[in-house]
């Protein structure tokens, strides 16, 4: 009987332990589902933390849709497990014939019952061991076997108790996770409600802002209509100023080019005139030197009355010098005349250039008129486009009745403001250009007047120089004639004096033989001095020739530079 009781107790303990271990598969599935839901919720929280700065309605709708899908899946699985519990319970151990598995609350009660039963079993085992010791040594081996089996069962039950405790801890964690999920879901619902309220307030504000923008747009359109009229007048004035500029600018350029050319020619002429002045000064110095030499030689000639042949040679030499001086002066005058004729040719060339520039101006005026017609056509096209844009804006006002996006409104307003600013800047630029053009026109007129005055002054100076050169040439011719007359008179006087002296010498020949011998010696010395002076005069003539060649080379270089410029 005791053995049967022990076996019955052992079986009951095993059944209790298996009941404790045999957690219902429905609860296991629910725990797995809760674990998976908890993981998904953590992932969603992480994603929401990452994307917290971007509050878009599409992402919030996706999160709500995912939560609804997860809850629907969970409800469907719970319903399926409640409808079909038998195939899940058939996996229980067949030895104990466990057909039903209790729920999670009954499993906790079974664990507590098992602990009380384990204590009562251990007490009964101790009592049985005491009774066995009293009965005798016959049942000792059976009692030891029972004790060993009970110990093994006790160890097994302790292990199972530990596993059940761990499972209970896991279930508690799952419950806390589920509660946390519910709290997060409630917070999400609150956030959604708050977001919907914010969206509604934002929509109201956007509608108010759109109304204000539409009113501003209408006011700006009115301002544009008021501004376009004076702008068109300003454009017409600008077109006229452009025409005037197109006429004045090429004229200014041509006049500046002509001015530069004339300046270069005047510089070249001034350089040549300065060279001629220096050359004339050198010739005057040479004339003065020659006159001094002539006076000296005349004195010598008066002393050498006896030597008639030498006096004739000396006079011929002086005549040659005078002819050379006259020839050099005539050459200088001819060169000056050639330069003046070249200046006249240049003036004719400048007149031809002015005629060509006038023809170019006429062609440019025609091209400008053609361009102006094209510009007027383009302006009319732009006006048509502006009218179309204004009509399109009015149709858009009528079409937009409900909601309008804030971006399009801002873009239109910003575009209108930009156009307004561009037009204001254009108007200011045109006013500045008008002022600059007026100042430039005044400066061009002043330059032209100054240029005309300078041209007149230069013309007057050239005429004055021509008159001065004519006067110089006449003075030189008169001087040459006077010198020739003086030379003829001197030659005649010298011949008369020579004849008188010869006659006196013939009479006083006998009386002055001794004197003539002494005078011959003196005359020999004087002849040597005269030869030396003749050598010096020949060197002076060579130097004059070299100076004249240098002057001609300089004039040639000046002409080449003027023609090249």
Q: In this predicted model, what pLDDT tens digit does every residue of 362-421 receive, in sequence order?
A: 776 677 677 777 777 777 777 777 777 655 555 444 544 444 444 454 565 566 667 667
By three-state DSSP, how is residue 100 classified? coil
Q: Mean pLDDT throughout 453-480? A: 71
H helices of 84-139, in order, are 86-89, 104-135
CA distance 525 to 80: 166
- Going by pLDDT thresholds of 50, 70 and 90, the confidence category of residue 95 is very low
pTM, to two decimals:
0.20
Q: Mean pLDDT throughout 438-443? A: 65
Q: Mean pLDDT throughout 221-242? A: 74
Q: Mean pLDDT throughout 441-447? A: 64
pLDDT(283) > 60: yes
What Rg, from alpha-carbon coordinates, does the chain have? 69
- Going by pLDDT thresholds of 50, 70 and 90, the confidence category of residue 180 is confident
Count how many residues are written for the chain: 565
By three-state DSSP, how is residue 333 classified? helix
pLDDT(279) > 50: yes
Q: What is the pLDDT of residue 94?
A: 37
Q: 364-368 contacts: CB < 8 A, separation 24 or more?
A: 364/246, 364/250, 365/246, 365/247, 368/243, 368/246, 368/247
Q: What is the pLDDT of residue 549?
A: 78
Cβ-contact 102, 24 below 8 angstroms = yes
| Average per-residue pLDDT for the chain | 66
Q: What is the pLDDT of residue 418?
A: 72
Cβ-contact 63, 44 below 8 angstroms = yes
Better-scored residue on pLDDT, 45 or 86 = 45
CA distance 82 to 87: 11
pLDDT > 70 fraction of the chain, expressed in percent and rounded? 41
- Going by pLDDT thresholds of 50, 70 and 90, the confidence category of residue 117 is very low
CA distance 387 to 383: 6
Exposure class string for 285-311: b at 16+ Cβ within 10 A, else e: ebbeebeebbeebbebbeebeebeebb
- Going by pLDDT thresholds of 50, 70 and 90, the confidence category of residue 19 is very low
Residue 164: how many other CB atoms lie within 10 Å: 19
Tokens 């110990």 sit on residue = 151
Better-scored residue on pLDDT, 39 or 550 = 550
19 Cβ neighbours under 8 A, 6+ residues apart: 98, 101, 102, 107, 110
Question: For residue 62, with 0-12 CB atoms within 10 Å meaning exposed, 13-18 middle and 19 or more buried, which class applies?
Answer: exposed
pLDDT(152) > 70: yes
Cβ-contact 2, 107 below 8 angstroms = no
Q: What is the pLDDT of residue 162?
A: 92
Domain ranges of the chain: 2-210, 217-564
C-alpha dist (Å) from residue 506 to 443, 512, 521: 91, 10, 20
Better-scored residue on pLDDT, 4 or 435 = 435
Q: What is the pLDDT of residue 21?
A: 45
pLDDT(553) > 60: yes
Q: What is the pLDDT of residue 101?
A: 35
């Amino acid at each position: 009987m005791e053995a049967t009781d022990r076996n019955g107790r052992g079986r009951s303990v095993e059944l209790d332990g298996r009941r404790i271990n045999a957690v219902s598969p429905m609860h296991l599935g629910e725990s797995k589902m809760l674990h998976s839901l908890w993981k998904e919720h953590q992932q969603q929280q992480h994603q929401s933390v990452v994307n917290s700065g971007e509050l878009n309605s599409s992402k919030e709708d996706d999160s709500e849709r995912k939560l609804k899908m997860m809850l629907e899946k969970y409800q469907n699985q719970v319903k399926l497990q409640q409808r079909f519990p038998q195939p899940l319970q058939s996996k229980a151990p067949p030895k104990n014939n466990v057909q039903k598995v209790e729920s999670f609350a009954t499993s906790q009660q079974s664990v507590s019952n098992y602990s009380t039963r384990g204590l009562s079993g251990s007490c009964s085992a101790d009592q049985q061991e005491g009774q066995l010791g009293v009965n005798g040594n016959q049942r000792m081996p059976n009692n030891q076997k029972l004790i060993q089996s009970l110990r093994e069962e006790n160890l097994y039950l302790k292990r199972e108790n530990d596993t059940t405790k761990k499972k209970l801890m896991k279930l508690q964690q799952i419950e806390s996770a589920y509660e946390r999920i519910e709290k997060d879901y409630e917070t999400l619902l609150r956030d959604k409600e708050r977001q919907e309220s914010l969206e509604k307030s934002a929509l109201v504000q956007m509608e108010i802002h759109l109304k204000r923008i539409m009113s501003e747009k209408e006011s700006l359109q009115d301002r544009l209509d008021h501004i376009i009229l004076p702008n068109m007048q300003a454009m017409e004035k600008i077109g006229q100023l452009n025409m005037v500029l197109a006429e004045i600018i090429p004229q200014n350029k041509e006049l500046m080019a002509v001015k530069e050319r004339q300046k270069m020619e005047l510089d070249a002429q001034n350089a040549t005139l300065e060279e001629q002045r220096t050359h004339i000064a050198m010739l005057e110095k040479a004339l003065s030197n020659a006159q001094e030499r002539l006076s000296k030689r005349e004195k010598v000639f008066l002393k050498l009355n006896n030597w008639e042949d030498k006096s004739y040679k000396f006079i011929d030499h002086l005549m040659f010098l005078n002819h050379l001086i006259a020839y050099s002066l005539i050459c200088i005058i001819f060169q000056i005349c050639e330069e003046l004729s070249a200046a006249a040719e240049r003036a004719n060339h400048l007149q031809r250039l002015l005629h060509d520039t006038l023809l170019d101006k006429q062609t440019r005026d025609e091209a400008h008129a053609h361009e102006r017609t094209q510009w007027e056509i383009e302006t009319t096209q732009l006006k048509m486009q502006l009218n179309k844009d204004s009509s399109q804006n009015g149709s858009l006002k009528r079409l937009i009745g409900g909601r309008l996006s804030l971006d399009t409104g801002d873009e239109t307003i910003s575009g209108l403001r930009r156009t307004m600013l561009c037009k204001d800047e254009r108007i200011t630029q045109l006013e500045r250009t008008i002022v600059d053009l007026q100042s430039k026109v005044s400066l061009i007129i002043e330059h032209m007047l100054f240029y005309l005055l300078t041209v007149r002054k230069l013309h007057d100076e050239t005429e004055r120089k021509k008159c001065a050169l004519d006067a110089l040439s006449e003075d030189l011719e008169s001087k040459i004639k006077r010198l020739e007359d003086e030379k003829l008179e001197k030659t005649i006087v010298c011949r008369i004096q020579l004849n008188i002296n010869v006659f006196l010498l013939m009479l006083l020949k006998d009386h002055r033989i001794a004197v003539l011998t002494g005078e011959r010696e003196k005359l020999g010395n004087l002849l040597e001095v005269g030869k030396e002076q003749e050598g010096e005069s020949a060197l002076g003539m060579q130097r004059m020739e070299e100076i004249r060649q240098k002057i001609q080379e300089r004039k040639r270089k000046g002409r080449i530079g003027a023609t090249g410029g």
